Amino acid sequence: MFDEFGLVRATPARVMRGGFAEATLYLVVIGDPAAGVAVPRNDAVSPRQGERPRPRTCGTKEEELAEMPDSDGVVSSSDAASLLASLIAIPSVNPAFRTSDAPATWFGEAAMAAYVAAWLREKGAEVELDEVLPGRPNVIARLKGDQAGRTLIWEGHLDTVQTSGMTVDPFRPELHDGRLYGRGAADDKGCLAAFMLALRDLAQRPAPINVTFVAAVDEEFQFRGILHHLERGERADGGIAGEPTRLHIVSACKGCVRWEIEVRGRAAHSSQPERGIDAIAIGTDLAVHLRRVFGPDLVARVHPLLGRASLICSMIEGGEGFNTVPASCRLKFDRRTLPGESGEDAWREIAKEVRRFAADLDREATVVMHPPFIDSISMEVAPDATIIAAAQEICRAEGLTDALLGVPFGSDASKMTRAGIPTIIFGPGDIADAHTADESISVAEVARAARMLAEMARRFGE
């Protein structure tokens, strides 16, 4: 009864800009020529709540700053505290996370970009604002220490996630026990402050190295800031993407591809289920089927720094009412990829199985495998890359581990590495504090990161 399920329409569909480089994806439609197209989704991470008490309110910022020991380097903890507090005080929530209960001025990166640009210009960098999307510019700051020498690119992001559910004031930074609290403290304003102070250090004590610092928009949603910058085609010999790694060197990360599958059945009164086609039953069968088919193989794919590949059905929604055979079911999938496999290949592999599943159905349903709405590639930098050697040397000199780590989260580093710039992820703060209800970072660690970044640049230029 269902020859039409053998029919697969392959409609070319462009997905997210930059997501799949040159590739054209195919929207696989089984039995339905009028399928929809992919829509970018909000990929917000909800803040964790109640994990830490609200910082106590005794002590003022000035008192705490006065107690902070200054380092013997050119970047002190009080430098870091005052710059980072200024950055936290400027809201820069990614517009993809816009909510009606928050003021419109909290969204977008323009004010942050203007502040960062002016600060760096004053310190002697050559600064450009490069508009990526209307009113959303990247900041590009350059220090030319040696025209013929190596170029290092530093990258951090201007945007943050949403503020809903926060237990600390998101944009009125408070300093307690050496930690600054507020949205973006750890992700990614601590890193921005470290890069800015490191750049100031290099401007004051020049080194034979060219440094380009890119403070990018849209890292938290679709990476459009860094993708736009990389399209300029400027060359660089190595890169550091600032994300909270607790001053560890991260040289590998997993990729992530996400898409939706839609099942369309037929509604009927639930007292006469034989008259309908139960889309939820088909959808859940499909989720179980994919887990059975791919689970064992994915568990067997292991990377030494990153662990296992994975596939999960992360959301299911469907049905119309208590007493109706459900006519629709939508499932969202999240596949984590390892270096060596692309999101596109992973998606195609599963699309093929979905087609097979649909072809075996004995009910007249429609199964639509949508193209990915997120495709963040995996990354691995060769352990003998110059940027890794420079970072390891400085970590050792600081008495920190020089071990190379892998992380499960994505960042702009993978796009830079794919563009031919070997890029590590490095920065102050802990990813466990990012996106949380009481986000915070150690100010001393931000200052230390700044000093280390400047030293890494000097070492990289040698």
Q: Give the number of other Cβ atoms within 10 Å of residue 38's Cβ.
A: 19
3-state secondary structure of 277: strand
End-to-end CA distance of the chain: 72
Q: Which is nearer to Zn ion, 187 or 278 (CB)?
A: 187
> Which element (helix H / strand E) includes 121?
helix 110-122
Instruction: Identify which range of 117-125, 186-194, 259-267, 387-395 contacts Zn ion by CB under 5 A.
Output: 186-194
From the number of C-beta atoms within 10 Å of its C-beta (0-12, 13-18, 19+), residue 302 rates as: exposed
Minimum CB separation of residue 435 from Zn ion in Å reads 9
Q: Give the number of other Cβ atoms within 10 Å of residue 370's Cβ.
A: 25
> Which element (helix H / strand E) includes 112?
helix 110-122
Complete DSSP assignment for 179-230: EEESTTIIIIIHHHHHHHHHHHHHHHS--S-EEEEEEES-TTTT-HHHHHHH
- Alpha-carbon separation of residue 25 from 249, 282, 315, 342, 426 (angstroms): 34, 25, 23, 13, 33
439 is a contact residue toward Zn ion (CB under 5 A)? no
- Contact characters 205-244, Zn ion, x per CB under 5 A: --------------------------------------x-
Phi-psi region of 139 (alpha: psi -120 to 50; beta: other; left: phi over 0): beta
155 is a contact residue toward Zn ion (CB under 5 A)? no
445 is a contact residue toward Zn ion (CB under 5 A)? no
Minimum CB separation of residue 187 from Zn ion in Å reads 4
Q: Which is nearer to Zn ion, 159 or 262 (CB)?
A: 159
Instruction: Identify which range of 51-59, 183-191, 350-358, 385-393 contacts Zn ion by CB under 5 A.
Output: 183-191
- Contact characters 59-98, Zn ion, x per CB under 5 A: ----------------------------------------
Q: Which is nearer to Zn ion, 188 or 218 (CB)?
A: 188
In 3D, which of 458, 24, 31, 73 has the Cα closest to residue 282? 31
| Options 188, 260, 278, 375; binder of Zn ion; rule CB under 5 A | 188
Q: Which is nearer to Zn ion, 159 or 380 (CB)?
A: 159
**Residue 354 near residue 293, CB atoms below 8 Å:** no
Q: Which is nearer to Zn ion, 245 or 366 (CB)?
A: 245
**Residue 93 near residue 77, CB atoms below 8 Å:** no
Minimum CB separation of residue 242 from Zn ion in Å reads 8
Q: Which is nearer to Zn ion, 78 or 92 (CB)?
A: 92
Instruction: Identify which range of 179-187, 400-408, 414-422, 449-457 contacts Zn ion by CB under 5 A.
Output: 179-187
159 is a contact residue toward Zn ion (CB under 5 A)? no
Number of residues located near Zn ion, criterion CB under 5 A: 3
Q: Give the number of other Cβ atoms within 10 Å of residue 117's Cβ.
A: 20
Complete DSSP assignment for 38-82: ------PPPPP-SSSPPPP--S-HHHHHHHSPPPSSS--HHHHHH
**Residue 225 near residue 217, CB atoms below 8 Å:** yes
Minimum CB separation of residue 185 from Zn ion in Å reads 12
187 is a contact residue toward Zn ion (CB under 5 A)? yes
Instruction: Identify which range of 187-195, 232-240, 293-301, 370-378 contacts Zn ion by CB under 5 A.
Output: 187-195
Q: Which is nearer to Zn ion, 187 or 380 (CB)?
A: 187
> Which element (helix H / strand E) includes 358?
helix 343-359
Minimum CB separation of residue 136 from Zn ion in Å reads 16
Which amino acid makes up residue 452? M
- Contact characters 240-279, Zn ion, x per CB under 5 A: ---x------------------------------------
Q: Which is nearer to Zn ion, 141 or 216 (CB)?
A: 216
Site residues (vs Zn ion, CB under 5 A): 187-188, 243
